[in-house]
Structure 1
Amino acid sequence: MEETSSAVATTSSSSAGEGTDEQHQAGGAQAGAGMDTLSEGSEDEFETDGKTSTGRETEDDGQSSDDEIASDEESEEEKPPYDPSGRQTYRNACRRLGVTPAACFMKLCESEEIDMGHYGVGPKGATAIAVAMGSNTKVLRLLLNNNGLYEDGCQAICKMMEDNCYITHLDLSCNQMRAVGSMAAQKMLKNNNTLSDLTCSGNLFDDQCATHWAGAIRTTLHLKKLDLSHNEFDEEGGKVLGPAIGDNESLQELSLRWNHLRLDGAVAIAMAMGSNQMLKVLDLAWNGFANEGAAAMGEALKSNSSLEVLDLSFNRISEDGAKLLAKGIAVNESLRVLRLGSNPLATGGVSAILQAIKSNSNNIIEELRFDNITITRDLMDLLNELKTSRPKFTVTHGGLGGAEARQENDKRKDPMVLVKQYIDRANLRLVDFFNSIDKDKSMSVTKEELEIGLERAKVPMTKEQIRELVTKLDKDGDGEIDYGEFVYGAQQVTQAEREAKKKRNLEVKRRQQDEANKSQVFKQQQEEAQTAAASAKRTDA
């Protein structure tokens, strides 16, 4: 083996040594040049993967490295700084969507609240706001009511809210969200963990949308206040929403006022309060609960221990319904405010509610509202008794009704007004009435003659009012009333009536003018909203 290797080495050496002198000289020259180059670049030598590179190779690599560093520096310079307000992001989004940036948003995007109600934002404008809010860490309350956002705009806002962890209050009312918007809201509430107050009133939600909202109410764990007023939930919608409300464990305030909840739907909503032990404020005014809903609410109040404010105004609840509701009030210990105004409760219904409050020593009701409902003197006495035993107890009602109210009003009237009204009703002249009292035709009457004459004529006056009349008419203080003083008193009443009538007419004109102005403003707002919506649609197109 050693001999063979030696032979191979010798052969290789011989082969390498073969060639002409010219070849050897050329090889030497190349070697010399190579050495010179190596010598000149020796300081730049570096090892890579076990091989030695020349200075030229090093120079090329260094140039590439410098280019990469420069490129990175340029990239860092081009990358905008982080903007917690989202202002630049908003500008860029508006540019891409082809909408004009709203100066209001640009101004408020660094504050805690952005209120852009009635601003004509439109669907694309809402999309730009949603993009900006994706990076905004300042805003806590976003109010976009009455902006013509429609389904697409509301969907963009709700999509943004799925990941937003700063906004706690959101107002999307009066934006025609409809079914698409209610679906987006359901998904938003399922994924969002920060939102605590949501207003979606006046968005044309119907019974189909009730399914989406029922899902949202069931799944949300953080929402505290929800406003779904001024929508179109009907009986079927109530039947869907009711069980979801009963299952909810986070809501503390819920408004369903101004819907069409009635019959079985109203009963389902009321029954939910039997199982829900979180809601503190429930607004159901302007629906159709009627006696069936009132009865169901009465049953629910027997077991409910959380509800503090209940509004059932304008719900067509009659005396029978009030009596059934009173059965729950008689045992409930959490309710503080009860509003039953503008219901046909009648005397029996009001009495049942008051007696239920009186009989329950653990009841803590402090405010009771019977707006536009008149009461009797007996009920007034009962109210005064409750006020005596409960210092904080307040009641609002429509005043005394029926004959008692007329008598009470007559007692407060000017005595001469009562005399003048009697004379007018009897179609008498002043002189004729005075002569009927002045038996001796002296054109002057004493206090006794006046009292006898008024009693005989059955003028509705008490002795105290007669004494007041004498004091008022006896200008010279002689204890008698002559015809001239009587005429002067009647003239004062006539003048006061004319001034009162003039004042009433002016008040009527003022109210009519106010209504006309409000109508004009409303019409103008509607036109502006329609113009903004049309502009938004053209922009979208």
Structure 2
Amino acid sequence: MDMSTEDDEDEIESAEEEKEEEKESVEAESEVIDETIILADYMRRFETRRMQELAAKKEKAEEKKKQLRYLIGVEEKRKRDVSVETIITPEDELTVSDRVSTESLVHPCLREIDISESQLKILNPYTVYRVPDDPGLSPAFWLLRERPPIYGTDGVQKFYDMVKRAGIRSIASLKDLLITDQIDLRYYGLESQVMRAICEALMDNTYVRKVDLKDNKLSADACKHLNNLLLRNSMIINLSLSGCQIGASGAEKLYNAISTNATLKTLDLSNCNIGNEGFEYIASALSNNQGLESIDLSNNNLDESCAENLRNLLSYNETLTHLNLFWNSLYSAKTWKTLIKGFEKNETLRSLNLSWNGLGVECLPYLSQLLSRSRSIDKLDLSCNRFTEKDAIRIAKALSTNNTLQELYLGNNPVKAEGALALVHAITPHVSPDNVLHLLDLENVWANKDILHELEAIKMLKPEVKVKLRGILSNYQLVGPDIKKILLKRANYEAMAPKIKRRKRNFGHFVMSLSDKMISQEKFMALIKKFKLKLSKSLINEIMLAFEGPRGTVDQGQLKSFYVKEFSEATVN
């Protein structure tokens, strides 16, 4: 019984264990089923969301196509005229899409629009689309080399960088000059490379107003750099190239700058060996210039050949006020016959220098015409020429009718005394009352005493007029010794002459003790005796005669004032 009971219990336990295992397996299967359902549900939601996104993208793409069609002015394409029976295969669709119009090839952005060429109405496709920003090509380019430095407006660092790269000698003083209003580089012997660096430094400079390059002997290449500077710089108003010997080639290089620069006011080209050939460029450039006011062309070997160019310069330039033609050869009658036409047309010239040109009787008719008709020239320099006394008389006649000239220089001409008298007489008030001349320079010219009357009339009626002469011949007056001073000196000596000290007297003390009234000679001698002056009787008589008053009296006041004036130290002692 016991054995059977144990067997039953074992069977019952095994049955329970099997039930528990079945239960566990069922639970495990249910868990697997649940996970499968969850995964399937997740995949279904994912597919739904993906379809929605694709639909949104497609809708967005369609919207963009509509906007693009609207921008380029194309109506929505109608459906193709395809019969119902026509079957379009995918291969046909590819063939249709490959037939791209010429515009589509040029503009790839139009390939996505399936339209014909006739429907594409674009006047200028480049104005439809916004120009894209720089994709970075400029920064990428400068990776190959360094960026150019950015210089200040003074140009100091730019100059030193250029001379360093060129391996030439620098100019230490230029550092300070570039920040002032004037650059003075006279007598430096500047070469072309240095001139290039200087001109580059001055290109954007806003300080310098005057550049002086006197006596540097500049080459044609250096003149080319100057030309580029004047074409760009708008601050320089004064340029001096005096003695730079630029010649005709340098004048040619400066042609463009002189023609177009409207800022430059003063240009000095004296002693530059320009000659008639170079002057042709200068005159042509000045005829076009509308800003230059003063030009110096002295000592440039100009002669009769340049007359036509000089006439054109005077005729067409409307701003020139000062013209210096000193030390040239403009003396021939043919030259002046041409020049006078230019002077008649010119209305701006105020100062004209024709000294040292060998002018003489040949040009006198035209010069007289210039003096009598000119209405603008107020300063004329004709010094150091060949005018004689007869020429001076003709010049004086023309001068008497002029009412604009203010300064006339005729010094160092052989006009002699007669010519000087005629010129001075021509500006006297009673001969030319409307004459406005205030300076007549006759330097190194001698006149006779006859001119004194004319000079007195000018001094009295026109005190502002100045006449400059070398001198007046025989204009002297003999002047002897002063008797009064000699007498009083003798009185001082005799008063102090006694050897005994107590008898010495100071004559000056006696004079200062006198009153300012008139006194008779007897009373005057009594005063001398009272003062115990040891004077000789003849000396006392001469003193009384020298300071004699009315009716034989002695003027004590006159004696005192004269003595104080001549012997002030004696009166103090």
- Pick the TM interval, shorter chain: 0.5 to 0.7
Question: Using the alignment, how far apart are the partners of 1:188 and 1:363 within structure 2?
Answer: 41
State the shift of 1:224 in Å.
0.6
1:411 correspondence with 2:478: yes
SS of structure 2 residue aligned to 1:347: helix
Q: Is there any run of 5+ residues in structure 2 with no aligned partner, and where?
A: 1-42, 47-56, 62-133, 483-537, 543-573
Deviation at 1:164, TM superposition (A): 1.8
For 1:388, the aligned partner's letter is M
Q: Are 1:206 and 2:291 matched, yes or no?
A: no
Determine if contact 1:198/1:225 at 8 Å carries over to the other structure: yes
Identify which of 451, 454, 457 aligns with 1:382: 454
Alpha-carbon separation, structure 1, partners of 2:186 and 2:235: 20
Cα offset, 1:344, TM superposition: 0.9
Supply the RMSD in Å over aligned alpha carbons: 3.5
Deviations along 1:163-188, one digit per CA (max 9) or x if unpaired, are: 22111111111111100122223321
Identify which range, 67-76 or 111-120, moves more after superposition. 67-76
For residues 69 and 271 of structure 1, do their structure 2 counterparts lie closer, same or farther at Cα, with a shift above 3 Å needed? closer
Q: Report the counterpart of residue 347 of structure 2 in structure 1.
A: 277
Q: Kindly tell me: are residues 246 and 70 of structure 1, through their superposed partners in 2, closer, same or farther at Cα, counting changes over 3 Å?
A: closer
Of 72-81 and 348-357, the range deviating more from structure 2: 72-81
Which aligned pairs between 1:106-117 and structure 2 lie closer than 5 A? 106-117=175-186
Structure 1 letter corresponding to 2:218: L
Q: 2:173 aligns with which of 104, 118, 135?
A: 104
| Structure with more relative contact order (C-alpha pairs < 8 Å, separation 6 or more) | 1
Task: Give the conservation status (yes or no) of the 8 Å contact 1:229–1:256.
Answer: yes
**How far apart are 1:72 and its partner, in Å?**
9.2
1:119-268 aligned at under 5 Å gives the runs: 119-263=188-332, 264-266=334-336, 268=338
Partner of 1:317: 387
Question: What is the CA distance between 1:362 and its match in structure 2?
Answer: 1.3
Conserved 8 A contact 2:421-2:447:
no
Q: Could you tell me whether the CA contact under 8 Å between 2:251 and 2:281 is conserved in 1?
A: yes
User: Scaled by the length of structure 1, what TM-score is found?
Assistant: 0.60
Cα distance in 1 between the residues matched to 2:469 and 2:307: 30
CA distance in 2, matches of 1:218, 1:265: 19
1 CA distance for matches of 2:136 and 2:291? 53
Aligned residues: 360
CA apart distance, 1:160? 1.8
Number of the residue aligned with 1:399: 471
TM-score between the two structures when normalised by the length of structure 2? 0.57
Query: 1:271 and 1:321 mapped to 2: Cα distance?
Result: 22
Q: Whose helix proportion is higher, 1 or 2? A: 1
Counterpart Cα distance in 1 of 2:454 and 2:211: 48
Q: Which amino acid aligns with 1:312?
A: L
1:95/1:400 Cα in 2 relative to 1: closer, same or farther (>3 Å)?
same
- 1:67–1:360: structure 2 CA closer, same or farther, 3 Å change rule? closer
Deviation at 1:265, TM superposition (A): 2.6
User: Could you tell me how far 1:399 is from its partner in structure 2?
Assistant: 0.7
1:289 counterpart = 2:289: no
CA contact (8 A) 1:266 1:289 kept: no
Take 1:349 and 1:382, find their aligned partners in 2: how far apart are those partners? 13
Kept after mapping to 2: 8 A contact 1:276/1:304: no
Q: CA separation of 1:377/1:205 partners in 2, compared to 1, >3 Å: closer, same or farther?
A: same
2:539, 2:274 → 1: CA distance? 74
Q: Does 1:366 align with 2:438?
A: yes
Partner of 1:418: none
The Cα offsets for residues 288-333 of structure 1, whole Å up to 9 and x where unpaired, read as 1112333312201222111111110001111232223223312211
Following superposition of structure 1 onto structure 2, how do residues 335-484 of structure 1 map, counting pairs within 5 Å?
Answer: 335-358=405-428, 359-401=431-473, 404-405=474-475, 408=476, 411=478
Q: Following TM superposition, by how much is the alpha carbon of 1:360 offset from its aligned partner in structure 2, in angstroms?
A: 1.8
Query: Is contact 1:275-1:304 (8 Å) kept?
Result: no
Q: 1:74 and 1:258, CA in 2 relative to 1: closer, same or farther beyond 3 A?
A: same
Q: Distance in 2 between matches of 1:231 and 1:70?
A: 54
Change (3 A) 1:190 1:412: farther
How far apart in 2 are the matches of 1:151 and 1:346? 47
Which amino acid counterpart does residue 197 of structure 1 have in structure 2? Answer: T
Tell me the distance in 1 between the aligned counterparts of 2:365 and 2:438: 22
Output the CA distance in 2 between the equivalents of 1:217 and 1:372: 36
| 8 Å contact kept, 2:226–2:254 | no
Structure 2 SS opposite 1:399: strand
> Which of the numbers 368, 378, 399 marks the counterpart of 1:329?
399
Q: CA separation of 1:92/1:69 partners in 2, compared to 1, >3 Å: closer, same or farther?
A: closer
The one-character-per-residue Cα deviations of 1:437-464 (angstroms, maximum 9, x if unpaired) are xxxxxxxxxxxxxxxxxxxxxxxxxxxx
Q: 1:66/1:261 Cα in 2 relative to 1: closer, same or farther (>3 Å)?
A: closer
Asked if the contact 2:308/2:338 (under 8 Å) is kept, the reply is yes
2-structure distance, mates of 1:85, 1:268: 47
Q: Retained in 2: the 8 A contact 1:295–1:325?
A: no
Alignment CA distance shift 1:268-1:380 (3 Å): farther
Measure the CA separation in 1 of the matches of 2:349 and 2:359. 19
Could you say what secondary structure the match of 2:467 adopts?
Answer: strand
Could you say what secondary structure the match of 2:472 adopts? coil
Point out the structure with max Rg over C-alpha: 2
- Over 3 Å counting, the alpha-carbon distance change for 1:136 and 1:76 in structure 2 is farther
Do the aligned residues in 1 keep the contact of 2:260 with 2:288 (CA within 8 Å)?
no
Which segments of 5 or more consecutive residues in structure 1 lack a partner in the other structure? 1-31, 36-45, 51-64, 416-475, 481-541
* SS state at 1:385 partner: helix
Contact 1:131 1:160 in 2 (8 A): yes
1:94–1:128 Cα contact (<8 Å) kept: yes
The CA distance in 2 between the partners of 1:267 and 1:326, in whole Å, is: 21
Q: Aligned partner of 2:182: which letter?
A: E
CA drift at 1:223: 0.3
User: 3-state SS of the aligned residue for 1:372?
Assistant: strand
1:398, CA displacement in angstroms? 1.2
Asked whether the 8 Å contact 1:118–1:146 carries over to 2, the reply is yes
For residues 85-109 of structure 1, give each alpha carbon's deviation from its aligned partner in whole angstroms, at most 9, with x where no partner exists.
1122222332344322211222211
Q: How does 1:492-531 map to 2 (within 5 A)?
A: none
Q: Deviations over 1:348-382 (max 9, x none)?
A: 32233223223221110001110111001111221
Question: Cα gap change, 1:70/1:232 in structure 2, threshold over 3 Å: closer, same or farther?
Answer: closer
Q: Distance in 1 between matches of 2:312 and 2:480?
A: 56
Distance 1:333 1:397, change over 3 A: same
The aligned amino acid for 2:238 is H
CA contact (8 A) 2:311 2:338 kept: yes
- Distance, in Å, in 2 between the alignment partners of 1:122 and 1:310 is 38
Amino acid at match of 1:128: A
Q: CA deviation at 1:212?
A: 1.7
Equivalent position amino acid for 1:411 in 2: L
